[in-house]
Structure 1
């Protein structure tokens, strides 16, 4: 950079350091920072902030904290963004005590927490199901004259929905509307998921219609959540009508939606329809994933078609979709349910060889077989060794 008389200034260095940090090239960024300071160019918080953000992106909050301390040693006052980066990283790592210490240091220096600081705290409390603390932080933010934004409301609504406190979530939603704040796709998706979580998919469907009437377009994930909620709560007709709406709107229906459909058909005893849907996936340019296959295994085993389930497992391997622990456990449980103990043992051996283990349901079924003396001596010894 020093060739042809060009002398980079602090802004130039800061720009390149920022780009290197965004690309994850932290070592290169720190080397350039050292070059800059060795040339007598003094850094500021614009130079430091990307360097603080860099290690935080990889969960290395201790390195970030050292950089904040280094700023102070150089008599550079960290700004609100510097502290926000550190506080957010600490909260994401579950280091609540350290985050509070950083916040205390921040306020001691006369730096007021902003909307991002408060939102990070609210999110952390919601993730830990500490809703009272989340609400206190929300109210404290308002008292400090910091107006909640859409992220603040969405975060708190999500916390209530995860805690199955849908009425409080809806109260917040109405508060948003009263404040002329426009809900976005995330707000609606969260509330629709919350209604489904508490067994109220019809209310979720009504909210979807309200959303559409307001001009907000549901994302595919919103449809998936609602579709699954309707099916799982016995609203088969409404669910199929919703799926048809998706088809009519020419939405790009993905494997998640079809997996939900296949699962619903299997649960309703419509195995033929489930198989037709499964076989049609390739014509739609979709590949079944491990979850799709496992649902088919469960549906086939439920109807006593264990041979077909085992054949499908082999095809799964052949199609480049590796079975996971749930896949193997589902097949094994199906075989045990139909007294095919020897074959179950074969698949348990395969499962163990691949580094997977029996889940609680499989282990319970094996123990029940042993207690009932329903297996011969050789298999009994093998099972006892496994357990």
Structure 2
């Protein structure tokens, strides 16, 4: 039985026969190339081995840098971690690409080496860029992610950076293979815009969390204040920040809304200032008024962590001679500030009582006049004159 052209059985085996023929031709070309370029191939293999050993040594050096506890969180450790992630397949293909021109391989082998090098370089480049970006983010956030309470945000950054880097690497590989990636890129762009519009509120809070991560306006444990709220930051999440207010309740506010407000970070005060308004009665003598700043300075000097900034008379009130006292408490801890303020207030109260200096309180004195216009105080005893009803 003779197979004829057009027979389905023959047509089905044609691709296999063609592949077998191509492999046989490649094998023959390889043997011929080795037979006539043996010395060049040996030199190229030696140089390639040296290159591989050198690159592997650099990889081990990077591994040592990223394991050094003293360099952790610094750029040498970040670069070392990226170098340590160098793939052995990339090292081999880089060495093969560098020496392939000297060995003058057949076109089929050279094309295969170029293609494999392109794949390895694209993937390795994505790995390097990913490690450098994530290392920079972790350096900015701090080596201990728990201290910023934004470990989940850093995890999201890792995922996004990984997806973007490897997506670009795949597109580069497909483009080098001759695939038209224009439509794919356009589809990814349209899909990204649609997702962004659908979840713009979530992304707004997410990017606000990343702003807190990079800009560090406050950390967990800091005392902050905005509007009429003051409290301690307990947790900074991807969408919300939780603050324990001074009155005890937990205040939950979205990250975007919080950053749009004027936030006061009370934990970064090198000192806290006490502002006291004191009023003494008008009967206080001028000599005593001159001594009040000295008295207050003596009181403040005896209080721990307290330092008098200014004390003086500020004006004449409706029922008091007004003084202003400014005291700096040299600590950023609110407990120390409150204790020092208490001691200063009690000290002023005790000393003024000892000096017979009276505090003023809202009073009103009424002066009356006699029928002849003479000012009298108080009223003398007068007979009550009955009021006659009006005549109709």
**TM-score bucket (shorter structure):** under 0.3
TM-score, normalised to structure 1, is 0.23
Higher RCO (CA-CA < 8 Å; seq separation 6+): 2
Flag the structure with larger Rg. Answer: 2
* Structure with the largest fraction of strand: 2
The normalised TM-score by structure 2 is 0.22
